[in-house]
């Protein structure tokens, strides 16, 4: 399907030479009698950028929180390198925007930092000149840079970035992805990034994992970007075509069982189920013919709307 012509969804063929920072094995989170995500399998190695994509409500944030231990897996296992240092940039930040807050203060809200550490981090994200600026006056791109600076100041082994380009215009977005790549190259940290826009993942991602309550598919973005179908969908006019389709032929029921196209119900997916196909020739669209809850199956991501969550 869209990520890889050959790779089965659960198979992970990446070389294992680099130090593994986090490893999820058959991991799932259950709330109110419903599996939010289930059967999640992936590793993040040092220096690797893994991006989770999927529609709204697919479980991307839930999976990231499970990976870093904010949420505990209800089944399966999540293992982290000993003393793993994590820099987390959440999707939403509980900030009282009516209160004055400088960038410098934002950096130290959750822990002390030396002046030199603050200066180095702001320098690295290109906003050293904004150290004393009011956070509420920052542009979307500057705000995201401030959050990145805050995360890298503690020299994490793993950075987790939940929608790191929200509220950022197109040019700013490209610059931010460059910056994220530079941080990875300079520090060698692993990066787990979340996006619901397939276009975004082209920038410097090693592995894309498409979620929809479970791992639909995974692979390198190169495979996608080199395919003529991808070009048709995303080339040239990529921004307005940030809609992805892919085909599922089964439904994950709230109790974890699976209902197939023929109406039969089994405990697990069949190997030949939709997201397990060899998808060569598949259009790189993403049209779900079944529901994993009530999320939208086509989504056109509009950026630059300044969605800063308070």
Ligand X SMILES: Nc1ncnc2c1ncn2[C@@H]1O[C@H](COP(=O)(O)OP(=O)(O)OP(=O)(O)O)[C@@H](O)[C@H]1O
Site residues, ligand X (CB under 6 A): 31-32, 36, 54, 56-62, 91, 196, 293
| 131 versus 143: smaller Cβ distance to ligand X | 143
Shortest CB 163 distance to ligand X, Å: 7
Shortest CB 292 distance to ligand X, Å: 9
Shortest CB 94 distance to ligand X, Å: 16
CB atoms within 10 A of CB 300: 11
Shortest CB 61 distance to ligand X, Å: 3
Residue 188 is given by DSSP the state: -
Alpha helices in 53-196 (DSSP H): 60-68, 103-108, 115-124, 140-152, 170-187
| 256 versus 293: smaller Cβ distance to ligand X | 293
| 32 versus 262: smaller Cβ distance to ligand X | 32
Q: Which residues, including other chains, have CB under 8 Å from residue 121's CB and lie 6 or more apart?
A: 107, 113, 149, 150, 152, 153
CA distance 182 to 44: 18
Shortest CB 40 distance to ligand X, Å: 11
- Pair 270, 53: CB distance under 8 Å: no
Q: Alpha carbon 309 to chain centroid distance? A: 18
Q: Alpha carbon 100 to chain centroid distance? A: 31
């Amino acid at each position: 399907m869209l990520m890889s012509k050959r790779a089965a969804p659960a198979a992970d063929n990446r070389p294992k030479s680099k130090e593994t920072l986090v490893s999820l094995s058959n991991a799932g989170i259950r709330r109110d009698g419903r599996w939010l995500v289930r059967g999640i399998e992936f590793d993040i190695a040092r220096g690797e950028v893994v991006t989770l994509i999927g529609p709204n409500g697919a479980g991307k944030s839930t999976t990231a929180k499970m990976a870093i231990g904010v949420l505990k897996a209800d089944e399966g296992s999540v293992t982290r390198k000993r003393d793993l240092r994590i820099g987390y940039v959440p999707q939403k930040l509980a900030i009282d925007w009516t209160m004055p807050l400088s960038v410098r203060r934002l950096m130290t809200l959750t822990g002390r930092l030396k002046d030199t550490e603050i200066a180095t981090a702001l320098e690295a994200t290109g906003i050293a000149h904004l150290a004393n600026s009011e956070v509420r006056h920052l542009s979307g791109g500057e705000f995201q840079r401030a959050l990145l600076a805050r995360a890298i100041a503690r020299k994490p082994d793993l950075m987790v970035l939940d929608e790191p380009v929200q509220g950022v215009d197109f040019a700013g977005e490209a610059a931010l992805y460059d910056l994220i790549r530079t941080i990875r190259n300079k520090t060698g940290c692993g990066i787990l990034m979340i996006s619901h826009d397939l276009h975004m993942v082209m920038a410097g991602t090693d592995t894309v994992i498409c979620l929809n309550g479970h791992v639909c598919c995974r692979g390198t973005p190169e495979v996608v970007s080199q395919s003529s179908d991808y070009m048709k969908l995303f080339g040239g006019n990529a921004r307005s075509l940030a809609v992805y389709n892919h085909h599922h032929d089964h439904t994950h029921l709230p109790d974890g069982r699976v209902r197939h196209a023929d109406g039969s119900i089994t405990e697990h997916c069949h190997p030949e189920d939709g997201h397990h196909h060899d998808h060569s020739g598949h259009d790189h669209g993403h049209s779900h013919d079944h529901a994993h809850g009530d999320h939208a199956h086509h989504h056109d991501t509009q950026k630059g709307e300044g969605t800063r969550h308070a």
